A and B are shown apart, each in its own frame.
Chain A
Amino acid sequence: MRIDYTIEHPIALRAAFDVEGFTVLLGASGEGKSLLLRAIAGLVSAQGEPFGGMAAQHRAVGYLPQGYALFPHLNAWRNVAFALRGPQRREHAMQLLERVHMAELAERYPATLSGGQQQRVALARALARRPQLLLLDEPTSALDPVTREDVVAELIAEVHDFGIPTLAVGHDPHLAAVADRLVLMHDRRIIQIGTPEAVYGNPASGAAARLLGYRNVHRGYVEGTTNAPRLAWPDGGVSFPINGQAAIGAHVDWMIDPAAIRLADVRDALPNAIPASIEVRHVDGRITQLGLRCGQSRLWVAMSDGMQVPESPAVYWPPTAIRCWTR
């Protein structure tokens, strides 16, 4: 489904992209992502398609706001039946609850349900309306971090099962990683669209890389000569050689893969090694990353097997490992 919306108030925003399967719109807080969803649902004034000019109650959208907004005075099945009419509304609500595996908790009130359970009831309630488009606002924000991945997997399975195009907005890279289609938003503009593989494999800019959760994205500028260009990194207080990816004098965002960084001892006096001090060890499953302080900034280094941490560490990397985007 093609989304094309223009909002003027309270902030100016234009967004045009296709929603296919589970589409995630990724953007930092304050970009107006929630506002866009509310505009599509007809809750704030805006121009655009689909549903342009229709009152909120006539738009066939299923809208799940942050925190899900279940009616606290109604139990789970009455929440779902809220959008239904007629004598079969209870039966129909129970069928929907069954499809999201919540039938056993149909009599429970929202306050007694976990975040993930509330989300499934809200999903069933939104589906009861027979929407042509599902809108999810920060679907992972109210979830327990321990169960989040499972709840999201369940959510995506259900969304695929119902076959309704879904637009989820958020700033959580975990959500982006499981999308069918990814849309990146920065400075209130769409900066990149594609499959997660394509977008993660080739971020369009430093801002895109930061949104995607890449570590070691920094600012700098190119100096030196065309034959021997160097990247100055003001926050790190150093400069190092790079390949000729950008013109001399260009201000760039640059990135380095934590796995591409090598550790050495300062006393070995390797050329272009940058002295650093260890701030934090980040152990995530079998992968350990070290947070190293370089000047005013921080570099993350992935520890490979058998990698030794020297007493006074320094970092170095091949010039080919640096990725640059002109700002």
Chain B
Amino acid sequence: MSHARLPAAVSTLTLLLLAAPFAGLALVTRWNEFGFADGDGNAVAVSLVYSLLALVLIIALGTPLAWWLARRQLRGLWLIDTLLLLALLTPPLAMGLLLASVYGPYGPAGHLLERAGLILTNSAPAFVMAQFYSALPYYVIAARAAFEGVPRELEQIALTLGHSPWRSFLHVSLPLARLGLAAAVALAWVRALGEFGAVLIVAYYPQGIPVKLWVNLQNIGLNAVYPLLWVFFLVAMPLPLILGLAARRRRLI
């Protein structure tokens, strides 16, 4: 085999491996008995609406942090890196347990928040919170890399042209980081939507798609999992797909 064809052959093999489970899904789905379990529709709505909410929170809080980390030379940076890594590293189930112990009814923060009327167990806010925690570190790390790719000189030139630092961020940093930011948003969306472990612990209800897949498997069996999984792909895919395509055009933002 020539040297030029080796990468192509390896790539083909890798893609085949990647595709195998989904080809399997197409084969094992009973297309003539394709039907949904009770509550599947509700699970789709819960997943979509709350994931979107979590995504908005992640972008709103994660973007300033990512930019700040990309631009400031801090003395204790390794400490922040460690914290981000810790959040990435924690197994989702363990993260759920940690969230429950802090924000649960007997946790220090949960106790206070409950008095203020915010219940972070088996509630919509709890669901959003679990997704927020599991997707935020991915977003921050990806967005930080995107901002680090923007030449600082261009931001400074914007200043010398009479723009405030905020306008310089809006008109230079954001558009120039758009490819990486779009990837970060897509990654956060996928992470939030697919989160199972942390959500299962703090918000068994309301049930989003991942938990409902589990419930269907327990109560009915495998054949009740596949139709909902197809729907999951259908609703989860458009956002990252559109982001990926749009970011490659010149003027997205």
Contact = CB atoms under 8 A, between A and B. Distances in A.
Contact of A69 (B154, B162, B251): B154
Interface string A69-83: 101110000000011
Contacts of B32: none
Given A69-B153, A71-B154, A73-B250, A63 B176 contact: no
B53 interface: no
Chain B contact residues: over half helix, strand or loop, or mixed?
Answer: helix
A48 interface: no
Most chain B CB neighbours (cut-off 10 Å) among A59, A73, A125? A73
A236 to B, nearest CB: 45
B71 interface: no
A42 B154 contact: no
User: Chain A, interface size: which category?
Assistant: 20 to 34
A56 B159 contact: yes
B159 A57 contact: yes
Contacts of B159: 42-43, 55-57
A43 B160 contact: yes
Contact of A42 (B160, B175, B176, B250): B160
A89 interface: no
Most chain A CB neighbours (cut-off 10 Å) among B156, B172, B175? B156
Given A65-B153, A82-B171, A72 B162 contact: no
A129 interface: yes
A69 B158 CA distance: 10
Contacts of B162: 57-58, 83, 129
Contacts of B248: none
Interface in A211-248: none
Chain A contact residues: over half helix, strand or loop, or mixed?
Answer: loop
A137 to B, nearest CB: 11
B163 interface: yes
A69 B161 contact: no
A41 B160 contact: yes
A62 B160 CA distance: 7
B161 A73 contact: no
Contacts of A301: none
Contacts of B175: 73
Contact of A56 (B153, B160, B250): B160
A61 interface: yes
B107 interface: no
Interface string B193-205: 0000000000000
B157 interface: yes
B164 interface: yes
Interface string B219-253: 00000000000000000000000000000001100
Contacts of B160: 41-43, 56-57, 59, 61-63, 129
B142 to A, nearest CB: 20
Given A61-B160, A71-B176, 15 more contacts: A41-B156, A41-B160, A42-B160, A43-B159, A55-B159, A57-B165, A71-B154, A71-B157, A73-B250, A82-B158, A82-B163, A83-B161, A128-B161, A129-B161, A129-B162
18 contacts: A42-B160, A43-B160, A55-B159, A57-B159, A57-B163, A58-B162, A62-B160, A63-B157, A69-B151, A69-B157, A71-B154, A71-B157, A72-B176, A73-B175, A73-B176, A82-B158, A83-B161, A129-B160
